C-alpha cells in the first residue's frame, strides 16, 4: 500500500535536535506582515504544509512573499491593501489559516471564498462566523454558514464585547483581527480559560496596543501595523513528541534546543513534572517577544495524573502524545474537559483511543477526554493509521520506539503539516 511506513523499537534515544519553528507563530507572522506597512522578515519560519497554505492564500491577495532557506520576506500592503483574490483561497488542512484569515477578510472591501481539504470541511466554523456576523460581517457557508466552502463579502465592522463559549486562540484572534478594522471602536473577547496569546504578543510587536487581563483581550480599531522582524522559536507542540519519547524510551537523554516556552503553551512541561519525569528547562537569552529555552529530558519512572480545566488549552495539541506517555506510567491518567479534541484534524478522542488500543494500550474514551491505565505492555504487531492527522501520525511513530513488535503506519505523510523533518530527527536520535 502507498504511504505505509514500517517502524520498529529502538534501544535508546540520545543526542540533541532543534525542532522546527512554531506553527502558530509562523502563520501569524505571515498574516500580520501582509497587513502591516513595510517589509517583515521572518526567520526560522516553519516550512510545513499548513504555513505554506497561509503563504499561498496571501499571495493570491497580491502580497509578495519571498521564501529563501527558512527566511521569509513579506512585503506588507497595509490594513486596506489586500487585493480581491481571483481564485479560491485554499487553506489545505489548516484550521488556523481558515479562522484567522476570516477575521482579516471580514473587514475588507472585497469578496473572497475559502475552501480546504476533507478534514477542514468537517471542522466547525460558526464559532468564528457567529461573532464576526455580530460585528457586521457577511459570511456564508455550507449548512447555514457552519462549514467550508465559505464565502465572505467584506463589510464595515463594528466593535463587540464577546463572551466566547470555547477557549480558542483561533476564535479570539479572528475577532481581534476583525476588531482592528472598526472605526476606532473597542472589541473585547473573553474566554472561559485563557488560550495561547501569540496574537496579543505579536500585534504588540507590530506596534498595536492590545489590552489583556486574565481571560480577556481587547483592541481599538483603526490601528495600523508597522512591519517588524520576527524570529520564530521552536514549536513546543513538535518538541512534545521527543519530550515524551525521551521520558518513555529506556536509557534515553535528549536535548531539545530553542523551544518556545510561552506560558500559555507549556502544559506539556507541567504534565511531565506532575508525572515525575526527569526534565530540566534551561532558559535562553533572546530578543524575541516569546520566551525560549533548551529542554533536557531523560528516561523516567512515571506516575499517572489528572489533566483538566485551565491546563487543557495549554496542551490541547499535545494530548495524543500525552495519552501515549500515560500508557507507561504507574496508575491511571484521567484527561477531562477536553471535548475540543473532537473538532481537530480528526476526532482526537476516537483516533487516539482507536489506534493506541490496536497496539495494546489500555485506554477508554469518555465524553470529554479519556482514561488511560498505565504500565501497558505495547505489543505493536499492527497496522495503524494517522487518519490524515499529523499529531496522530507522530504519536504512533513515537509509540513504535517501545512496541515489542514493529508497527506499520499508514498515511505518515500527514506529518508534513507541522514537522516535515520529523523522521530525520527521529533517526538522528535513535540508537
Ligand X SMILES: C=C(OP(=O)(O)O)C(=O)O
Ligand Y SMILES: O=C(O)C1=C[C@@H](OP(=O)(O)O)[C@@H](O)[C@H](O)C1
Q: Is 416 part of any known ligand binding site?
A: no
Residues binding ligand Y: number (CB under 6 A): 11
User: In angstroms, rounded to a whole number, what is the distance separating the alpha carbons of residues 409 and 401?
Assistant: 13
Q: Which of 417, 409, 366 is nearest to 120 (CA)?
A: 417
State the binding partner of 94 from ligand X, ligand Y, none, CB within 5 to 8 A by kind. Answer: ligand X
Catalytic residue among 294, 317, 411, 416: 317
* Side-chain-facing half-sphere of 35: CA atoms under 13 Å: 27
Contact set for ligand X, span 50-109 (CB under 6 A)? 50, 94-96
The answer to whether 117 is a known catalytic residue is: no
For residue 225, give the C-alpha cell. Answer: 501595523
Q: Is 215 part of any known ligand binding site?
A: no
For residue 281, give the C-alpha cell. Answer: 528547562
Q: Is 237 part of any known ligand binding site?
A: no
Query: Applying CB under 6 A, which part among 3-11, 164-172, 226-234, 377-385 lies near ligand Y?
Result: 164-172
130 Cβ neighbours under 8 A, 6+ residues apart: none
3-state DSSP assignment of residue 270: helix
For residue 157, give the C-alpha cell. Answer: 465592522
Q: Is 24 part of any known ligand binding site?
A: yes
Q: Is 28 part of any known ligand binding site?
A: yes
Q: Is 344 part of any known ligand binding site?
A: yes
Cell numbers 498595536 correspond to what residue? Answer: 208
Neighbours of 41 (CB within 10 A): 17
Q: Kindly tell me which of 7 and 259 has the beta carbon lying closer to ligand Y.
A: 259
256 Cβ neighbours under 8 A, 6+ residues apart: 16, 17, 18, 19, 234, 239, 242, 243, 294, 295, 296, 297
User: In angstroms, rounded to a whole number, what is the distance separating the alpha carbons of residues 26 and 406?
Assistant: 35
State the binding partner of 168 from ligand Y, ligand X, none, CB within 5 to 8 A by kind. Answer: ligand Y
State the binding partner of 391 from ligand X, ligand Y, none, CB within 5 to 8 A by kind. Answer: ligand X
Q: Is 391 part of any known ligand binding site?
A: yes
Would you report the helix, strand and coil content of the chain in percent, each value rounded to 5?
35, 25, 40
Contact set for ligand Y, span 76-115 (CB under 6 A)? 96
Neighbours of 213 (CB within 10 A): 9
* 238 touches ligand Y (CB under 6 A): no
User: In angstroms, rounded to a whole number, what is the distance separating the alpha carbons of residues 84 and 128?
Assistant: 21
3-state DSSP assignment of residue 54: helix
User: In angstroms, rounded to a whole number, what is the distance separating the alpha carbons of residues 381 and 359?
Assistant: 7
* 24 touches ligand Y (CB under 6 A): yes
The helix-helix angle for 422-429 and 390-399 (nearest 10°) equals 20
Query: Applying CB under 6 A, which part among 128-136, 169-177, 352-360, 419-427 lies near ligand Y?
Result: 169-177
Residues binding ligand X: number (CB under 6 A): 10
* 345 touches ligand X (CB under 6 A): yes
Cell numbers 533517526 correspond to what residue? Answer: 427
The pattern of x and - marking residues 338 through 367 that bind ligand Y according to CB under 6 A reads --x---------------------------
State the binding partner of 218 from ligand X, ligand Y, none, CB within 5 to 8 A by kind. Answer: none
The least CB distance from residue 12 to ligand Y, in Å, is 30
The pattern of x and - marking residues 258 through 297 that bind ligand Y according to CB under 6 A reads ----------------------------------------
Q: Where are the beta strands (DSSP E) in 285-422?
A: 292-298, 306-307, 332-335, 362-366, 369-373, 383-385, 407-410
Query: Applying CB under 6 A, which part among 167-175, 222-230, 252-260, 295-303 lies near ligand Y?
Result: 167-175
* 191 touches ligand Y (CB under 6 A): no
Query: Applying CB under 6 A, which part among 165-173, 178-186, 244-252, 382-390 lies near ligand Y?
Result: 165-173
Q: Is 294 part of any known ligand binding site?
A: no
* 317 touches ligand Y (CB under 6 A): yes
Exposed e or buried b per residue across 376-393, where buried means at least 16 C-beta atoms within 10 angstroms of its C-beta: bebebebebbbbbbbbbb
Q: Is 298 part of any known ligand binding site?
A: no
The least CB distance from residue 169 to ligand Y, in Å, is 3
Q: Kindly tell me which of 96 and 328 has the beta carbon lying closer to ligand Y.
A: 96
State the binding partner of 327 from ligand X, ligand Y, none, CB within 5 to 8 A by kind. Answer: none
Residue 183, CA distances (Å) to 98, 156, 157, 175 in order = 24, 8, 8, 15
Binding residues vs ligand Y (CB under 6 A): 24, 96, 168-170, 173, 195-196, 316-317, 340
Binding residues vs ligand X (CB under 6 A): 23, 50, 94-96, 317, 344-345, 391, 418
Annotated catalytic sites, by residue? 317
The annotated binding site for 3-phosphoshikimate is made up of 23-24, 28, 168, 170, 317, 344
The annotated binding site for phosphoenolpyruvate is made up of 23, 95, 123, 170, 348, 391
Amino acid at each position: 500500500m502507498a504511504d505505509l511506513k514500517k517502524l520498529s523499537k529502538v534501544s535508546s534515544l540520545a543526542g540533541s535536535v532543534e525542532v522546527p519553528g512554531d506553527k502558530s507563530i509562523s502563520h501569524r507572522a505571515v498574516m500580520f506582515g501582509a497587513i502591516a506597512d513595510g517589509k517583515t522578515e521572518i526567520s526560522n519560519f516553519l516550512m510545513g504544509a499548513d504555513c505554506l497554505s497561509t503563504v499561498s492564500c496571501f499571495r493570491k491577495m497580491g502580497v509578495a512573499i519571498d521564501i529563501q532557506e527558512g527566511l521569509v520576506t513579506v512585503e506588507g500592503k497595509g490594513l486596506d491593501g489586500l487585493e480581491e483574490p481571483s481564485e479560491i483561497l485554499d487553506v489545505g488542512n489548516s484550521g488556523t489559516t481558515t479562522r484567522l484569515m476570516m477575521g482579516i477578510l471580514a473587514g475588507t472591501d472585497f469578496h473572497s471564498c475559502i475552501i480546504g481539504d476533507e478534514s477542514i470541511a468537517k471542522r466547525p466554523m460558526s464559532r468564528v462566523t457567529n461573532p464576526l456576523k455580530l460585528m457586521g460581517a457577511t459570511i456564508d457557508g455550507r449548512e447555514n454558514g457552519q462549514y467550508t466552502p465559505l464565502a465572505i463579502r467584506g463589510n464595515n465592522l463594528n466593535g463587540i464585547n464577546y463572551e466566547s463559549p470555547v477557549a480558542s486562540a483561533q476564535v479570539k484572534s479572528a475577532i481581534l483581527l476583525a476588531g482592528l478594522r472598526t472605526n476606532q471602536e473597542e472589541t473585547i473577547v473573553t474566554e472561559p480559560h485563557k488560550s495561547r496569546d501569540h496574537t496579543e504578543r505579536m500585534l504588540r510587536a507590530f506596534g498595536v496596543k492590545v489590552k489583556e487581563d486574565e481571560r480577556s483581550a481587547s483592541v481599538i480599531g483603526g490601528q495600523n501595523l508597522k512591519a517588524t522582524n520576527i524570529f520564530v522559536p521552536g514549536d513546543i507542540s513538535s518538541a512534545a513528541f521527543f519530550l515524551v519519547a525521551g521520558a518513555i524510551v529506556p536509557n534515553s537523554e535528549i536535548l531539545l534546543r530553542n523551544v518556545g516556552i510561552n506560558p500559555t503553551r507549556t502544559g506539556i512541561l507541567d504534565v511531565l513534572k506532575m508525572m515525575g519525569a526527569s526534565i530540566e528547562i534551561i532558559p535562553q537569552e533572546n530578543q524575541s517577544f516569546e520566551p525560549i529555552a533548551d529542554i533536557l529530558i531523560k528516561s523516567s519512572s512515571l506516575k499517572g495524573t489528572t489533566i483538566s480545566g485551565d491546563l487543557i488549552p495549554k496542551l490541547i495539541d499535545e494530548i495524543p502524545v500525552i495519552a501515549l506517555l500515560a500508557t507507561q506510567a504507574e496508575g491511571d491518567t484521567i484527561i477531562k474537559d477536553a471535548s475540543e479534541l473532537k473538532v481537530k484534524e480528526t476526532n482526537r478522542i476516537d483516533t487516539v483511543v482507536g489506534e493506541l488500543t490496536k497496539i495494546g494500550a489500555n485506554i477508554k474514551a469518555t465524553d470529554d477526554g479519556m482514561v488511560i491505565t498505565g504500565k501497558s505492555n505495547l505489543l505493536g504487531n499492527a497496522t495503524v493509521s494517522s487518519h490524515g492527522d499529523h499529531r496522530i501520525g507522530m504519536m504512533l511513530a513515537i509509540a513504535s520506539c517501545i512496541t515489542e513488535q514493529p508497527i506499520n503506519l499508514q498515511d505518515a505523510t500527514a506529518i508534513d503539516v507541522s514537522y516535515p523533518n520529523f523522521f530525520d530527527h527521529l533517526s538522528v536520535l535513535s540508537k
